[in-house]
Amino acid sequence: MTESTHLYDLFHPAHYDIYLDINRETKQISGKTTITGDALATTIGIHQKFLKIQQVTVDGKAVTVTDDPAAEAIRIPVPQTGNVTLAIDYTAPLTDSMMGIYPSYYDVNGEQKQIIGTQFETTAARQAFPSIDEPEAKATFDLAIKFDEQPGEMVISNMPETKVEAGVHYFDTTVKMSTYLIAFAFGDLQSKMTTTKSGVQVGVFATKAHQANELDFALDIAKRSIEFYEDFYQTPYPLPHSWQLALPDFSAGAMENWGLVTYREAYLVLDPDNTSFETKQRVATVIAHELAHQWFGDLVTMKWWDDLWLNESFANMMEYVAIDAIEPDWHIWEVFQTTEAPMALQRDATDGVQSVHVQVEDPAEIDALFDSAIVYAKGARMLVMVRALIGDDALRTGLKAYFDAHKFGNATGADLWSALGTAANMDLKSVMNSWLEQPGYPVLTAAVVDGQLTVTQQQFFIGDGTDAKRQWQVPLSSNYAEVPELLTASQVTLGTYADLRQANGQPFRLNVGNNSHAIVKYDDTLLADILDHITELTAIDQLQLLQDQRLLAEGRQISYADVVALLPRFAASEATVVNDALYQVAGNLKKFVTPDSDAEKQLQQFFDRLSAAQVDRLGWTPKAGESNDDQLTRPYVLSAALYAKNAQSVAAAHELFTANRDNLAGLPAATRYYVLANEVTNFSDATVFDQLLTDYRQATDASYKADLCAALTTTPDAKLIAKLIAVFEDAATVKPQDLRAWYRGVLANAKGQQAAWDWIRQDWAWLEATVGGDMEFTTFITVTAAIFHTPERLAEFKEFFEPKIPTPGLGREIKMDTKVIASRVALVEDEKAAVNAAVAQVVQ
């Protein structure tokens, strides 16, 4: 960056009066925005995108403005620096982009209806009203909305409504806030309300396509999350209300608009009587994430998007801290270990990955920062390390000071480290900058060299990587007291191994609890010692061992065949986290076999060997009162049994399907997918297929819809696959927000891969026009790369995507994903024979 392009440097807005008239029928918006503020130059810039500007006045006098499309702005001359008032009249189209102001579509009793909602993060507020659309440009807002209102409809926003006059709804003046957090919605909504201990009104809103009791779970979690944060942060929730709204069309998972959080329906409303425990956990963490933002992100906001991690990494950690506090029996940190940890470790091992803190300017590049593996998962792991280093008391004291110092304002990473560091009396900045500013992470090699126990760090890569000699300050978390808290050099020698082993009486381990963002490679002596005592490890530590071994194998530091040999040792575990790690490794073995080959038959036997006893123990139907672990483990073993084509399981699932054919939605949600998938894969005919597709069109329960999508895409029938591809672009069947799941499902199906791959290449322009403007767009590339593992697909991937590298927001993803596929192709080529031999060894 050579010169600042930030419009805030030219004009500091203080207050906005925003009037909007929105017509769903004509798909037209007309608006007038009045902004008062402080001009710092005599030509200022105001952001706008897709607006048709009709008139601009400055202090009441009409002026001529110039367009600056590159900056998504208009340039306005002002008579003098200092206080000015701008008034801008404009019109804009109402489009189906899931960005800016947009409609969501749904059916109630066969009648098509729509509600209007908003999505402004990152840079779409400028599509709704002219503004300094930068996080630092905080101001107060008065919002007035008129729309083609029908009887019974309501409109909600960040603040309470104060009056309705001549059909115009007026809302209370907001506190000082950033433009990207403004939100409103209107339509025929239902709601449920409650109040927190401190008097904050909490509400959940959804369309009337849902049953009223589907709002209850979210209301309870939202209320208790806010109460938890008010206590943990020692800072009151700053607004009179906290609304949670489910929108039928929503691109991301949820959005933390201040006082009006918006969600995908799947992440807010659920059937309290038939939803899996896993789904409830996911919904609860999403709600807790968004509510963590009401302070971290909304009350105190990053100064610029380069510090997006301040918002997302923090909220991603706090969602687990909060749910662990309000639902301690859920052991929610186990979900962190099975989702966030492997996601971060996988992606962060690819050379070319971005650091958590990264310079950005272009709006498309800002959107590309919302990388779930880095700014969310890795960033959260970074903060988990901080929490472990300083403890909760210092964390809370530091946070309170941080909120007090920066509330209704902005902050940078340095501000956070300084507040937390002061509270902990520690130089946190130098520890954390090694994680924040550098991409990647280290592999810690623990070895006995000439009798001395040593630990060294070196950057870990999966695929080709240039060793830039990066070093990190790594919390070692050893079970040996002699080991320092932090590794700050490239190597440390800990003393004579034989003496240390004797004194400690247990195998040497590092990163106990798996909270440091690093993996451990033990030499043969140390690993054998751990494996000899494997049953003494906690479930998380067993998960960690399997996970680290898998990553080391993918990074070619050990053979994948060695990992295969370990798996049967863990197959009897009743811990979900162990089964998760086990079946993740096992699932990865599928890429080493060709579909329908003898090697695949052998692998299926291997899956049967791993899962059969557990399927017998757990059965196909959830039991009342069973443990959380049993509920969560069952899907892993049923999935394995179906891949193994275990005759008993195939028959049991078929029987369940047949018996419940008239009410498939009523099958227990935790196992429903497996029953449906078994039917589609092993017994499918066009009638069953059509019944399921019709159900998909009509269902309102998001988790049932997700099961249907996942099951339908497993069909082996070419004609039915063609039918699926044909609905990809039919928004009445597959909403654009759900398209990626459909595409991924068909692509992952060996019989459907060619058709899905042909579709995305042929219709890329359509895809770009439909979902290209939003921050989820690049994930179509990511999910493709996650599946491909042959040289042919690698060549095709490069041929198609490499020309798109210059497209803003796509370049890094394409380059990274090419490496991801290339390293997988090389791994399969080199290790196929050894892996399949290791599988054969277990099966025989």
Query: Where do contacts with Zn ion occur on this chain (CB under 5 A)?
Result: 312, 315
Residue 255 or 519: the one with the smaller Cβ distance to Zn ion is 255
Least CB distance to Zn ion at residue 255 (A): 8
CB atoms within 10 A of CB 559: 16
Closest CA to 586 of 530, 518, 643, 629: 643
Annotated active-site residue in 290, 312, 319, 679: 290
Which residues sit opposite 39 in a β-bridge?
11, 82
Please report where in the chains the tokens 């071994």 appear, as a residue.
549
Residue 312 or 608: the one with the smaller Cβ distance to Zn ion is 312
Residue 312 or 554: the one with the smaller Cβ distance to Zn ion is 312
Residue 292 or 814: the one with the smaller Cβ distance to Zn ion is 292
* 425: Cβ contacts below 8 Å, ≥ 6 apart: none
Residue 221 or 821: the one with the smaller Cβ distance to Zn ion is 221
Cα 367 from chain centroid? Answer: 13
Burial class (CB in 10 A: 0-12, 13-18, 19+), 14: middle
d(CA 591, CA 756): 18
d(CA 501, CA 506): 7
Element containing residue 170 per DSSP (H, E): strand 168-171
Least CB distance to Zn ion at residue 288 (A): 11
Which residues sit opposite 519 in a β-bridge?
443
Closest CA to 518 of 630, 440, 443: 443
Cα 779 from chain centroid? Answer: 11
Tokens of 60: 């009441």
Sign of CA dihedral 575, 576, 579, 584: negative
- ∠ CA(108), CA(244), CA(285), 5° rounding? 110
d(CA 715, CA 684): 7
d(CA 761, CA 797): 10
Tokens of 333: 């940190």
Residue 318 or 725: the one with the smaller Cβ distance to Zn ion is 318
Please report where in the chains the tokens 């490499």 appear, as a residue.
802
Least CB distance to Zn ion at residue 258 (A): 13
Residue 315 or 323: the one with the smaller Cβ distance to Zn ion is 315
Least CB distance to Zn ion at residue 293 (A): 5
d(CA 649, CA 642): 7
* 434: Cβ contacts below 8 Å, ≥ 6 apart: 471, 472, 473
- Pairing between strand 66-68 and 73-77? antiparallel
Helix (H, G, I), strand (E, B) or coil at 187: strand
Least CB distance to Zn ion at residue 227 (A): 20
Residue 46 or 288: the one with the smaller Cβ distance to Zn ion is 288
**What DSSP character marks residue 375?**
I
CA distances from 641 to 78, 148, 619, 638 (A): 71, 54, 11, 5
Residue 306 or 312: the one with the smaller Cβ distance to Zn ion is 312
d(CA 168, CA 20): 9
Least CB distance to Zn ion at residue 351 (A): 27
- ∠ CA(717), CA(723), CA(726), 5° rounding? 145
Tokens of 714: 């497993």
CB atoms within 10 A of CB 766: 14
Least CB distance to Zn ion at residue 308 (A): 9
Residue 138 or 289: the one with the smaller Cβ distance to Zn ion is 289
Residue 315 or 444: the one with the smaller Cβ distance to Zn ion is 315
Tokens of 821: 């596929």
- ∠ CA(620), CA(624), CA(629), 5° rounding? 70
Least CB distance to Zn ion at residue 549 (A): 32
Residue 32 or 378: the one with the smaller Cβ distance to Zn ion is 378
Residue 133 or 312: the one with the smaller Cβ distance to Zn ion is 312
**Do the beta carbons of residue 388 and residue 515 sit within 8 Å?**
yes
Give the nearest residue (CB) to Zn ion: 315
Least CB distance to Zn ion at residue 817 (A): 24
Helix (H, G, I), strand (E, B) or coil at 165: strand
Q: What region, left, alpha or beta, does residue 672 occupy, with left being phi > 0 and alpha being psi -120 to 50 degrees?
A: alpha
Least CB distance to Zn ion at residue 289 (A): 5
278 is catalytic: no
Helix (H, G, I), strand (E, B) or coil at 606: helix
Phi, psi of 557, rounded to the nearest 5 degrees: -90, -20
d(CA 219, CA 830): 53
CB atoms within 10 A of CB 272: 13
Closest CA to 637 of 676, 608, 675: 608
Least CB distance to Zn ion at residue 67 (A): 33
Least CB distance to Zn ion at residue 221 (A): 16
List active site positions: 290
